[in-house]
Amino acid sequence: MTAIDESDLTAADIAWDLEPLTGGEGEGGAMALLDRAAGLATEMEGWRGRVAEMDVADLEAFMRTSAELAEAVGRASSYAGLRFSIDTADPPRGALLAKTEERATAIATRLVFFELEWAALPDERIDELLADDRLDFCRHHLRSARRYRPHLLTEPEEIILGEKAVTGRSAWTRLFDELTSAVRVRIGDDDVGLEQGLALLASPDRDSRRGAAEAVTAGLAPGLRTRAFVFNTLLADKSTDDRLRRYPTWLASMNLANEASDASVDALVEAVQRRYDIPRRWYTLKARLLGLPRLADFDRMAPLTGDEPRFAWSEGRELVLDAYESFAPELADGARRFFDEGWIDAPVRPAKRPGAFCAYTVPSQHPYLLLNWTGRRRDVLTLAHEMGHGLHAYLARGQGVFHQTTPLTLAETASVFGETVTFGRLLQATSDPSERLSLLAESLEGQIATVFRQVAMNRFEDAVHTTRREEGELSTDRFGELWRSTQEAMLGDAVELTDGYLTWWSYIPHFIGTPGYVYAYAYGQLLALSVYGAYEREGAEFVPRYLDMLRAGGSRSPEELGRIVGVDLADPAFWDGGLDIIAGQLAAAEEAATAAGRT
């Protein structure tokens, strides 16, 4: 194999260019952007105590300045955060991240007055102001901000909480990222990162899978108590915030941010729990397909065929572009820019943040994608997934800084949709019955991971937040007990949980940085399945409406955005419809197993 081939297999040369974020001025450019933002904040402070006097022209001018400030801060913060994410062990990168966070927080606290004074205005005055077309660019943002009225504190209190967050939650979250990025997994004579160790759970050899799982557990062990302490601290911190802000439950603040009612989220969680039979049926079938009496936790990602094919970066690129081209050439054109203009960082590196994400940055720039490419088929689908996020951000950039992003509950729609389209192209290109079974299995396992596993993790979060508030600090063993019970509720007797698996909660970043986030994956997956079902029924006529929904960003409520593509998010039966689609995929996999002579 040539050096060029190896480079392509590992995506070694696929690195992003962050310099446009600061105009090519690096750290100095980031500081200049924050200087500009501080000057704009000084202008805006002239309205302190006088927000009630604003007419439409005043409010428009104020919000235009606010948008300019948000762009400047967003560019500086994105530059520092993205540089840090690819090398969390580099002290200068960490120092720049801390500096930008501190300065951004100081700027934000100077403008707390507006949120409080805006919330205090009577509804009649708000309706009068927001009826004017000049405020289209910020209308939904301003109206949504008033949802927080019951939970706002006084200005001095808000300033204190904002300032202390830099050395509180933000600092603990950064520490957790550094700790997990530093985890090393010993595989034979090699010392690899956590991401590479977890990738080996997809080995076709059971002894290799078992060894990889044991190595991951061993790699997690040295810092386990420290990560548990970080988690405990943030659980207590959130409890304090919720009490001060009068949130009735640990999840209420996330639901409010997602523009979702507590009742609707409860309905989602309960609907998914009622269908836990789906993952149990699949894992029982998979055990038979693998010739095992019962799966262990480390068997769940095992392929159903022999060696899983490896994909070079160039192959993955063409597969994803072909999938998006087959749906909408406009999306493929946007995706090419990500590949051609340095908007992606793909290779696995020491101290790089695990996993994958899309950073929207700000509308005046462009999104960035972070991946950890190991050449597996799953990586191709992850690329398609994150590209969906990126294209959503790219298409919605015209909405401006206030409306580009959607609530988390809709944020997964484009990503899951893109992943589903790409999977369809992979399946079309596969004729061998056994390989088709393998692909169908992989798709079903993706559904299980995104819907059922995420709800099980939501139940774990619910358990740890509740227990921390009732019992006090949790030991590592107590975390493990709660992790086991919530995983077993989903898996039943179909999967054996090994003792080592009981510490694997300790590397999941969502629990730390965005508590309550994980149910949004299930929400988004079921929504995306419904949207994809509409596409399958309607064909090309559906595409313009789907693109309109993406372009709308977060300029409307989730219910209004859903109506663009014919989805009724207010209907409780909506969740059952998506779950029925997954059940249908399970039935198709069972039929494929029979057709392939495997059952």
Q: Which one is predicted more confidently, 416 or 242?
A: 242
Q: What is the pLDDT of residue 306?
A: 64
Residue whose pair of structure tokens reads 């749906």 in the numeric block? 327
- Of 58-62, 419-423, 458-462, 492-496, the one with minimum mean pLDDT is 419-423
Confidence of residue 588 (pLDDT cuts 50, 70, 90): confident
Is pTM beyond 0.85 here? no
Confidence of residue 522 (pLDDT cuts 50, 70, 90): very high
- Of 304-313, 336-345, 439-448, the one with minimum mean pLDDT is 304-313
The model's pLDDT over 10-32, given as tens digits with 9 standing for 90+, comes to 999 999 999 999 999 999 999 99
Beta bridge partners of 368: 359
Q: What's the fold here for domain 19-167?
A: Butyryl-CoA Dehydrogenase, subunit A; domain 3 (1.20.140)
Average pLDDT (287-292) is 95
At residue 4, φ and ψ (nearest 5 deg) are -65, -40
Please, which residues have CB within 8 angstroms of residue 98's CB and are 6 or more apart in sequence? 166, 174
Query: Are the beta carbons of 361 and 74 closer than 8 angstroms?
Result: yes
DSSP 352: P
Confidence of residue 307 (pLDDT cuts 50, 70, 90): low
In this predicted structure, the answer to whether residue 3 has a pLDDT above a threshold of 70 is no
Residue 225's CB is within 10 A of a number of other CB atoms, namely 12
Residues 581 and 43: their CA atoms lie apart, in Å, by 53
Average pLDDT (443-449) is 91
The model's pLDDT over 132-186, given as tens digits with 9 standing for 90+, comes to 999 999 999 999 999 999 999 999 999 999 889 989 999 999 999 999 999 999 9
Confidence of residue 2 (pLDDT cuts 50, 70, 90): very low
DSSP 310: P
DSSP string computed for 296-312: EGGGTT--SSSSPPP--
At residue 368, φ and ψ (nearest 5 deg) are -130, 145
Q: What is the pLDDT of residue 289?
A: 94
Q: Which one is predicted more confidently, 244 or 304?
A: 244
Q: What is the pLDDT of residue 443?
A: 87
In this predicted structure, the answer to whether residue 294 has a pLDDT above a threshold of 50 is yes
Average pLDDT (366-392) is 95
Q: Which one is predicted more confidently, 188 or 390?
A: 390
Q: Which one is predicted more confidently, 446 or 461?
A: 461
Residues 110 and 329: their CA atoms lie apart, in Å, by 45
Q: What is the pLDDT of residue 291?
A: 94
Confidence of residue 323 (pLDDT cuts 50, 70, 90): very high
Residues 383 and 347: their CA atoms lie apart, in Å, by 12
Can you list the alpha helix ranges (DSSP code H) found in 539-572? Answer: 543-552, 558-564
Q: Which one is predicted more confidently, 22 or 424?
A: 22
Rounded to 5 degrees, what angle do the CA atoms 398, 399, 404 make? 110
- Average pLDDT value over all residues in the chain: 93
In this predicted structure, the answer to whether residue 543 has a pLDDT above a threshold of 60 is yes
Residues 530 and 51: their CA atoms lie apart, in Å, by 43
Tokens of 513: 């940085």
